[in-house]
Chains A and B, each alone.
Chain A
């Protein structure tokens, strides 16, 4: 069983529901896209160049002191389950996990900092914090960026800023995103209008949902759509404003769900979801997410469900397929996984 997975903690700091508005903002992420001067971007580099870049990047990460007792990984040495685990943990993208070329990652011991190596760009430096914490995440990501930028020559021009493989990332190379949990707006069918309004604010909302359902847990990733032409702080402030506005709308939607005849319907939905999470004997990840979202909304409304946000957040990570297999200590087929997930969840919610 995957050695790398064992080296990760079972409790994830950035999912501990600390920070502001933890009931609505699961986590905040700030990332910088960077490339090294003197090498082609990964899409045009040869394998030996990619290996050299990775060697340089991992050495710089170690020397920075920000990754002490951290993880230094080379993608090709990882098995499928380990890669999947890192994707579920938000440290590695699907693209990096699928890469067959020399790539890798450095991940700090408490998992708030990470550097993806040779994904679309040579470096993707990120900080992941719990709750609504744009300023903290920005400062920490900047510290990482500056530390590595002293040791490595980043590709930069006075005109286009930090140079990236895709021009959509050039300039600051920065993306600020908040993972927002918006079950009340979703339940009231207001999300399409909300997404529409966001599109005029230089903000990208990734709303992915099975048509007409809440199957994906009502999580939305909100991030800046552009990253050139303004200062880093300004981009942060824009997202900050947008998120505060979203929070107000979600609060209003929650109030609407507790008015008149909707109140009993809402209570019924929340407690049924909680009952299902606590008593199911088979549970797919999608079904878990759908019901967890409703139960979590109940907790957000201040109802005493006997489960706190930190637990909801932790299980949201732990119930993912690779995490389930990591907990089981062996590979499981989807049926076995669903049975294991139900048992594992009961233990966590008890």
Chain B
């Protein structure tokens, strides 16, 4: 394989990373003149087209000595991540332009997104580590980019938790490498497939440490401590990026490592990791929803809600490990719908908080009369987060729960019961917010509407939530194709 072909295999990620360099240099050469926003969008469209090229030209297989692999799974996440980043960037224009750090904001978003795309296609512990840390470090800076008190605090907390969990993850990687003698996921899979009981304990130690490290990225309890603080303290556009793209990438790599590397259902350790993810999922749902009940700040509420949602995906991971055949596709489908839903909710919050000048739920009173579009999108997305038909969230939850029941383990049925109860609990705080939006008297009379581009992505996200809810088949079959690669 020639050097160009190797680079071709990481094309989408490269386009985004080069785009980041271009944005930075454009700002250096022509300070405050170039449309950094436009350049960023061009880079994202370029990355999207490159991924599309991969998909249509049938590019596949390993490159760079097996460090990365191009497959349906990686492409699925490349599309999800790039589309989500595109929407976030479109909606952030009002917030970012005119700030001193606009160039840094756009450049770091691109670095982070590019490394996430690389993360989803990486196939080797070293690549995973480097890609993961590149996205994380860019996000640490992004969280504090506004340089205000709260942002700085959020950034420092995010960074310290992130650094500790990265070190724990690495310790796990070191053990996996030491036991299997290779850093390639395929090599580790071969080793696990033929290993005997004697290696069970060191393997368990390795994957518990790895799960702890990834738990931070996925925001599963007990590694969720940073979530509410960062969601509340960091600028809203950055938070929306974290909550969709970063989370999708985190789950992508967990699926890849645990499913490809450590073996889905059927290896001698799969029961262990099924139980582990089951416990984490239950804890995340319970703590996430309990924390959200008391919140008055919308971003903090969405933070706790994202912990609970991660718990739902955790049910899917447990089902995957227990050998459910529809489990992996269920997880991918859930992530796809979650990204659309949370994007819609966050873009609505970005647009609203810009004008309201507040993130308090009380200030959303009567939003439906002040800005009907924002209110309607927000309500659609909140319904989807609750899991009420005909929205995408309903189908996604159904799919995940179905996968868990299909695995045929009694304790998984119990886990689903916990999930259903938690859906009921979550309805309380989502509906309370919706009631404030619809029923309460507005505090002020003046109305507002967001910028045209923001309206566009907001409506696209809201429509996606409804369309996926009514016609889930295309996304489901895409998820199934992507999941088939892992088997």
The yes or no verdict on A and B being binding partners is no
Binding site for A on B (CB under 8 A): none
Binding site for B on A (CB under 8 A): none
